C-alpha cells in the first residue's frame, strides 16, 4: 500500500512537472510568472498609485531606459537614457513582423523546420513538419511571442536566420536607425543585437502605419490553425484592453534585457508611443509604462502653430498700418503672410503650463524699393519660443 501511494505521488509530481514545462514552452521568455489573475484590477490599482507622482511632475522610474514620442511629430515628450544602446529582447519582433509583411504573402502555407521547432524561449508550440500559414505565424510571433514562429518566418522569408537578419538591418538603414543592429528574428541575448529606446519608438511608429501589423498587435485573443487543428493564443501585452487608449504593441523579456514593453496609446487627438526597456520586474515594467503614459496625457496638449502665427501677423498688421515706406512705389501698403514651409507641421505637443508663455519675434525692415512683387520673401519670423 505504501509503495502504491509513493508511486501515485511520483506520477502526480511528474504530471505537474509536465504541466509546468508545457506552460513554459508556450510562453517562455514573455510569460509573466508574477501576473495576478485579475490583471485589469492590478492595472487599475497601479494607475491610482502613480497619480500622485504625475501630479508632482516627478517620475521615479525603475527602467534602465525609456522614451515617449508623439506620433504626429515624432518629438520626445519624455526620455531617460533614450539614446543608449541596449538589448531589446522580443521587442525585436516588431522589426521581424514588418520585414515579413513587406516581403511575403500572408496566405502562403509553410512547413516548420527542425531548427525552428527546436528554438527555445517563448514558443508558439511548433513541431518539426507542422504546416501553418505565414498569417498565423504572425499571430504566433506577436501575441504569444513565439521564438519558433520567428525562426520559421525568417527561414521562409530570408532563406536563413542570417539572410533574414540582413533584411532586418537593411530596413533599419532605410529607416535611419543608425544605432540599431539585428542578428536574429527573436531577440534572444547577443552582444551585437541592440537598439535604443528612441529608435525602437521610431520603428514602432513606422510599423503601426501598416494596417495588418496594427490589426495583429491590437488583438487580445486569436485562434490559429496548425495542421488543421485550432489553437487559441492570448496577447502577452498586459496593458492592451486594460488601460484607456492602448492599442498595441509588444512585450519582451530576456535575462540580458530584463522586462521590456512598447505601448501605443491614443486619447483624443493625441497619439503616443511609450517604450520601457530594462525594468527589473514585470510589475515595474507595467508601472513605469503607466506612469509615462499618464504623465504624457496629463501634461501635454497640441499647440496649433499655424493659427498662432496667422493671428500674430493679423494683430501685427492692424497695429502697423503705416509701417512700410516703398521708394518709387505707388503705395506704401504691404500685406504680409507666412510661407507655408513655416507651418508644414500644423501642431506640436507642448507642455500645457508653457502654452501661455509662447511668443513670436518678428523683425522686418520698414524701407523697401520698388518693385516689391507678390510672394517675395521680405523677412522671417526669427523664432517662436517658450520662456522657461
Residues in contact with 175: Cβ distance below 8 Å, sequence separation at least 6, in sequence order: 202, 203, 206
Between the two ends of the chain, the Cα-to-Cα distance in Å is 82
Locate 206 and state its grid cell: 513606422
Q: Which residues are paired to 111 by β-bridges? A: 131
Residue showing cell 511528474: 14
Q: Give the residue from 128, 145, 138 showing the smallest Cα distance to 103.
A: 138
Q: Which residues are paired to 270 by β-bridges? A: 267
- For 387, phi then psi, to 5°, come to -85, 115
Cβ–Cβ < 8 Å for 122, 31? yes
Q: E strands, the chain, where?
A: 65-70, 76-80, 109-111, 131-133, 221-226, 229-234, 246-254, 258-267, 270-279, 300-304, 325-327, 347-351, 359-362, 367-369, 381-385
Taken as a whole, the chain contains a residue count of 388
Residue showing cell 509604462: 289
Buried/exposed 76-112: b ≥16 CB within 10 Å, e otherwise = bbbbbbbebebbbbbbbbbbbbbbbbeebeeeeebeb
Residues tagged active-site:
90, 93, 145
- Concatenated DSSP letters for 181-250? B-S-SS----TT-BB-HHHHHHHHHHHHTSHHHHHHHT-SEEEEEETTEEEEEE---TTTTTSTTEEEEE
Instruction: Determine which helix (DSSP H) or strand (DSSP E) holds 285, and give its type and residue range.
Output: helix 282-299
Residue 119 to residue 152: CA distance in whole angstroms: 10
Amino acid at each position: 500500500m505504501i509503495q502504491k501511494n509513493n508511486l501515485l505521488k511520483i506520477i502526480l509530481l511528474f504530471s505537474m512537472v509536465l504541466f509546468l514545462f508545457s506552460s513554459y514552452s508556450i510562453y517562455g521568455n514573455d510569460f509573466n510568472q508574477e501576473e495576478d489573475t485579475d490583471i485589469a484590477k492590478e492595472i487599475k490599482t497601479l494607475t491610482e498609485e502613480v497619480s500622485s507622482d504625475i501630479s508632482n511632475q516627478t517620475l521615479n522610474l525603475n527602467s534602465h531606459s525609456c522614451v515617449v514620442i508623439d506620433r504626429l511629430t515624432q518629438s520626445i515628450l519624455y526620455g531617460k537614457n533614450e539614446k543608449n544602446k541596449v538589448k531589446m529582447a522580443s521587442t525585436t519582433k516588431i522589426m521581424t513582423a514588418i520585414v515579413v509583411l513587406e516581403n511575403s504573402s500572408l496566405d502562403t502555407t509553410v512547413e516548420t523546420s527542425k531548427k525552428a521547432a527546436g528554438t527555445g524561449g517563448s514558443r508558439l508550440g511548433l513541431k518539426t513538419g507542422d504546416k501553418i500559414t505565414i498569417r498565423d505565424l504572425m499571430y504566433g510571433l506577436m501575441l504569444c511571442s513565439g521564438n519558433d514562429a520567428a525562426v520559421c518566418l525568417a527561414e521562409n522569408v530570408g532563406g536563413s536566420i542570417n539572410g533574414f537578419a540582413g533584411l532586418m538591418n537593411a530596413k533599419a538603414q532605410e529607416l535611419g536607425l543608425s544605432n540599431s543592429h539585428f542578428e536574429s528574428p527573436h531577440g534572444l541575448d547577443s552582444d551585437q543585437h541592440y537598439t535604443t529606446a528612441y529608435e525602437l519608438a521610431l520603428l514602432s511608429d513606422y510599423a503601426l502605419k501598416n494596417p495588418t501589423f496594427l490589426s495583429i498587435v491590437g488583438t487580445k485573443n486569436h485562434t490559429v490553425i496548425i495542421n488543421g487543428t485550432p489553437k487559441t493564443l492570448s496577447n502577452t501585452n498586459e496593458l492592451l484592453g486594460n488601460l484607456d487608449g492602448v492599442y498595441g504593441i509588444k512585450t519582451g523579456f530576456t535575462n540580458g534585457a530584463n522586462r521590456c514593453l512598447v505601448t501605443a496609446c491614443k486619447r483624443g487627438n493625441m497619439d503616443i508611443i511609450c517604450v520601457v526597456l530594462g525594468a527589473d520586474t514585470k510589475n515595474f515594467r507595467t508601472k513605469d509604462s503607466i506612469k509615462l503614459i499618464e504623465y504624457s496625457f496629463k501634461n501635454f496638449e497640441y499647440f496649433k502653430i499655424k493659427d498662432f502665427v496667422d493671428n500674430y501677423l493679423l494683430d501685427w498688421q492692424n497695429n502697423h498700418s503705416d509701417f512700410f515706406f516703398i521708394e518709387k512705389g505707388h503705395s506704401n501698403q504691404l500685406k504680409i503672410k507666412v510661407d507655408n514651409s513655416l507651418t508644414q507641421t500644423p501642431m506640436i505637443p507642448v507642455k500645457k503650463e508653457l502654452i501661455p508663455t509662447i511668443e513670436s519675434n518678428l523683425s522686418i525692415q520698414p524701407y523697401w524699393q520698388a518693385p516689391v512683387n507678390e510672394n517675395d520673401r521680405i523677412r522671417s519670423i526669427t523664432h517662436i519660443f517658450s520662456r522657461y
